[in-house]
Amino acid sequence: MTRLEHRARAPDLSIALVNNMPDAALAAAERQFVGLVEASRGELTVRMDFYALSRVPRSVETRMAMAPRYGDLDDLLAAPPDVLIVTGAEPRAADLADEPYWAELTQLIDWARSGGVAAALYSCLAAHAAVLIADGVRRRRLPAKLSGVYAAEVASRHELTKGLGTPLTPHSRYNDLDERELTDNGYLILTRSDRAGADAFVKEGATLEAFWQGHPEYEADSLAREVRRDLQRFASGATGIPPPLPENYLSPEAHAQLEAYVAEIAHGGVLTGESLPLATLAPEAAFWAKSSRGLMGAFLAAAFRRKRLRSAAQAAEMSCARL
């Protein structure tokens, strides 16, 4: 299950990545989070292990490919990490509680929040699930999909926002969380924007919990892949309206190209991967990468501090027990 390891024994942080992404995006999500951790860890040594919820729908072939490297929830609970990272997932139900993996996800989040790990990071749908499970905060359907890269402002001074400047974050979602409802339930908004709402927020109790509504882990072509997929669904008739084009991401030429394809599809045209190559859509580099490294680096540093505090408290308790 180990993928990223920088010391054979006693890494500064052991990290469990619970990958809930669908088959087509599973490897990309793994690569993106591993890459972001590696780029952000600084002097910290880390070990990353991979896990998956058994009720996330998957093909037999994908399950077989995952088996040698991915553990299940029981494996994770039997060997608790220092840090938990839970990816988003492709939404299948209007109500999160109707997702097939809901019981497993609830068990995982309840365990983490009760102090099972020093720190937890929930991404996109996992963030929506965590606040619903813990505090009954329900996501709200947006009028249209939010897609693009958005500049945010730092809303609160916190160790997780140190040195962030003006964060840039990719977003790709159909749902949102109400900022006031979050703050009323004890969450601290870290970064926000008028367009994307609460970008990142945090809550601290037995565990330091960080939440990302966006996707700092995205690679340069991630949004391009998504819009091409959504256009293919529109072309096949699976969706009745064309997808919104990513904001603040496309070059003027790419935007014009996509608009032309939307018009062509609307008149019965067929879209293929060859007719819309990613190289013509995606920027050459992820121009939000510096912000992403800042967010993840601050989270990992805070997680390490929490781990040391917990270790010191446990050592003190053991000393008192011997008296």
DSSP letters, 133-151, are HHH-PPPEEEEEEEEEEEE
Distance CA 29, CA 122 (A): 13
220: its two tokens: 């340069």
Distance CA 247, CA 249 (A): 5
Tell me whether residue 320 is one of the annotated catalytic residues. Answer: no
Amino acid at 3: R
Three-state DSSP state, 249: coil
Tell me whether residue 171 is one of the annotated catalytic residues. Answer: no
Catalytic residue among 124, 158, 209, 226: 124
Residues 6+ apart with CB under 8 A from 221: 278, 281, 282
The residues pairing with 151 across neighbouring beta strands, listed in sequence order, are 168
Distance CA 257, CA 240 (A): 20
Catalytic residue among 171, 209, 215, 219: 215
Best CA proximity match to 281, nearest among 222, 230, 237: 222
Catalytic residue among 30, 99, 104, 217: 217
Distance CA 277, CA 298 (A): 36
Distance CA 120, CA 207 (A): 7
Tell me whether residue 128 is one of the annotated catalytic residues. Answer: no
Query: Could you tell me the CA-to-CA distances from 120 to 18, 48, 142, 198, 225 in Å, in that order?
Result: 11, 14, 26, 18, 28
Left if phi > 0, otherwise alpha if psi is -120 to 50, otherwise beta: which for 316? alpha
Cα torsion 20, 120, 110, 156: sign: negative
Q: Could you count the other beta carbons within 10 Å of the beta carbon of residue 285? A: 9
CB 14 within 8 A of CB 72: no
Active-site amino acid positions: 124, 215, 217
